[in-house]
Amino acid sequence: MDEKILKEQNKVKRHGFSVLFVHWTVALSTFLLIVSGFGQMPMYKRYKIADLPGLGWTADYSITILIHYLAAAVLILAVTYHVVYHVMRKEYDILPRKGDLKESYLIIKAMLLNREEPAGDKYLAEQRLAYAFIGMNLLIIIVTGVIKVFKNLPGIDYTAVFLIWVNDLHTLASMLLVFGILGHLAAFLSKANRALLPGMFTGKIDLEYAKHRHRIWYERMDRKSIRSTSTHRQKPTVPLDSTSVRQHAAGSEKTNSF
């Protein structure tokens, strides 16, 4: 697993390279897609954004469409990577669960009233819901976007009604995504959530924070590391002379104490 308790550093490794790669690739490509997407609606010229120094290009549809296509390819790459990677590894912690709506309410209430929150897993209920909201909108945008790309190719024509659905779903999901991203960023206005920020840069978060706010997750990792230590002790893969057994056991303990 990418996640583990790093007691010596007083940290918990929350995300590995794959999660950081996907998060930042999606963030950057989505930012470019939103900027260039608004450019595909006749807005920047009308509202004089293109008159600002250095922004004349924003009114040129032929430039913004190229940015949109390139960023879309990057987004599709990242999303495919994300889906394939986690399905292969059977990692589904971030998917919403039954009762998440109620639990989110309890967490937010506890945050506002400064009370004890319900025990959290790797992702809190509202984080799982936020993921589902943003993820669902991204999927709608990608599917409709891919259809829009096909539609632009010579020899491919869709019916007028289908085009209205595709275009308007694409636009609607994009607007919802913008709200989702604003909500995602607004979460960091709350101090309680800020300790998660380093996790998205270094992959690690504070150990005490994880223990307190993500207790279920922490305890699971803890149990796993104990189990792994004992498994190693029971099934040594090194020659069974007494010296090497002692060395191997010490080595496993050391590994798991990270």
**Residue 243 is a binding residue for other proteins (CB under 8 A):** no
**Residue 85 is a binding residue for other proteins (CB under 8 A):** yes
Judge contact between 182 and 196, C-beta under 8 A.
no
Tokens representing 209 are 């924070």
Q: Which residues pair with 5 in a beta bridge?
A: 12
Whose Cβ is closer to other proteins: residue 36's or residue 127's?
36
Count of residues for the chain?
258
**Residue 254 is a binding residue for other proteins (CB under 8 A):** no
Q: Which of residues 159-178 bind other proteins (CB under 8 A)?
A: 159-160, 162-168, 171
Whose Cβ is closer to other proteins: residue 25's or residue 193's?
25
Instruction: Give the whole-angstrom CA distance, residue 195 versus residue 205.
Output: 7
Judge contact between 208 and 224, C-beta under 8 A.
no
Instruction: Give the whole-angstrom CA distance, residue 173 versus residue 214.
Output: 31
Instruction: Give the whole-angstrom CA distance, residue 89 versus residue 127.
Output: 21
**Residue 226 is a binding residue for other proteins (CB under 8 A):** no
Is the Cα dihedral 239, 242, 246, 249 positive or negative?
positive
Instruction: Give the whole-angstrom CA distance, residue 252 versus residue 228.
Output: 9
Residue with the two structure tokens 């998060």: 23
Which residues have CB under 8 Å from 145's CB, separation 6+?
A: 72, 170
Shortest distance (Å) from residue 77 CB to other proteins: 4
Whose Cβ is closer to other proteins: residue 53's or residue 113's?
53
Tokens representing 6 are 């790093």
Residue with the two structure tokens 């998917």: 95
State which of residues 23, 27, 34, 40 lies at the interface with other proteins (CB under 8 A). Answer: 40
Whose Cβ is closer to other proteins: residue 151's or residue 220's?
151
Q: By CB under 8 A, how many residues form the interface with other proteins?
A: 60
**Residue 151 is a binding residue for other proteins (CB under 8 A):** yes
Whose Cβ is closer to other proteins: residue 22's or residue 125's?
22
**Residue 69 is a binding residue for other proteins (CB under 8 A):** yes
Shortest distance (Å) from residue 90 CB to other proteins: 8
State which of residues 101, 112, 139, 186 lies at the interface with other proteins (CB under 8 A). Answer: 139
Query: What residues line the site for other proteins (CB under 8 A)?
Result: 1-2, 16-18, 40-42, 46-48, 61-62, 65-66, 69-70, 72-74, 76-85, 87-90, 139, 142-144, 146-147, 149-160, 162-168, 171
